[in-house]
Structure 1
Amino acid sequence: MKNLSHFLKVTIVFTLCVILMGAYTRLSDAGLGCPDWPGCYGMIKVPSQDHELALALDSFPEHKVEQEKAWLEMIHRYIAGTLGLLVLMILFICLKNRETPKKLPTFIALLILFQAALGMWTVTMKLMPVVVMSHLIGGFTLISLLLLLYLRTKPLRIPGGDHSARKLAPLATAALSVLMLQIILGGWTSSNYAALACTSLPICEGDWYNKLRFIQAFTPFQGTHDSYEFGVLDYASRMTIHVTHRFGALVTAAVLLWLAYKLHTQSQSSQLKRSAQLLFLLVCLQVGLGISNVVLHLPLGIAVSHNAGAVFLLMNLVFINYCLWRKA
Structure 2
Amino acid sequence: MSKGYKLLILAACTLALLVVSLGAYTRLSNAGLGCPDWPGCYGFLTVPNESHELTIVEKNFPNAQVEPKKAWIEMVHRYFASLLGLMIVALCIVAFRQRTNKNHKQVVVPFKHALLLMAMVLFQGLLGMWTVTMNLQPFVVMGHLLGGFTILALLVLMYLRVHQPADVTAPSITGHFLLAIIGLVVLVIQIALGGWVAANYAAPHCSGLPVCSNIELFSLESLFHLPIGQSNYEFGVLPFETRLSIHFIHRIWAMVTALTLIWVGWKIYRAELSSKIRSAVILVSCVLFAQLFLGGLIVHLQFPLLLTLFHNVMAALLLLSMVRLCFLLAAKQGATI
Contact 1:115/1:139 (8 A) holds in 2: yes
Distance 1:104 1:306, change over 3 A: same
- Corresponding pairs, count: 323
Contact 2:206/2:214 (<8 A) preserved:
no
Q: Measure, in 1, the Cα distance between the counterparts of 2:230 and 2:84.
A: 32
1:197 aligns with 2:205: yes
Instruction: Identify which range, 259-268 or 289-298, moves more after superposition.
Output: 259-268
Supply the distance in 2 between the matched residues of 1:155 and 1:25 (Cα, whole angstroms). Answer: 36
Q: Aligned pair 1:321/2:326, yes or no?
A: yes
Matches of 1:73 and 1:158, distance apart in 2: 46
- Structure 1 stretches of at least 4 aligned residues deviating more than 4 Å after TM superposition: 156-160
Cα distance in 2 between the residues matched to 1:17 and 1:3: 21
The CA RMSD measured in Å over matched residues stands at 2.0
| Partner Cα separation in structure 1 for residue 26 and residue 215 of structure 2 | 34
Of the three residues 301, 309, 318, the one matched with 1:304 is: 309
C-alpha separation in 1, matches of 2:62 and 2:222: 34
Q: After superposition, where does 1:127-276 map in structure 2 within 5 Å?
A: 127-156=136-165, 166-208=174-216, 211-218=217-224, 222-276=227-281
**Residue 289 in 1 paired to residue 290 in 2?**
no
Q: Is the 8 A contact 1:159 1:269 kept in 2?
A: no
- Which residue matches 2:73? 72
Change (3 A) 1:218 1:4: farther
Per-residue deviation, 1:215: 4.7
| 1: CA distance, partners of 2:273 / 2:195 | 36
Q: 1:80 to 1:218 in 2, by over 3 A?
A: farther
Q: CA deviation at 1:77?
A: 0.3
1:86-114 deviation line (CA, Å, top 9, x unaligned):
00000001000022222111111011000
**Deviation (angstroms), 1:284:** 0.8
| Contact residue 156 and residue 323 of structure 1 kept, 8 A | no
Question: Unmatched 5+ residue regions in structure 1?
Answer: none
Written as runs of structure 1 = structure 2, the 5 A alignment for 1:51-90 is 51-90=52-91
Displacement of 1:272 in angstroms is 1.1
Provide the rounded CA distance (Å) in 2 between the counterparts of 1:159 and 1:181: 32
Counterpart of 1:12, as a letter, is C
TM-score by length of structure 1 reads 0.93
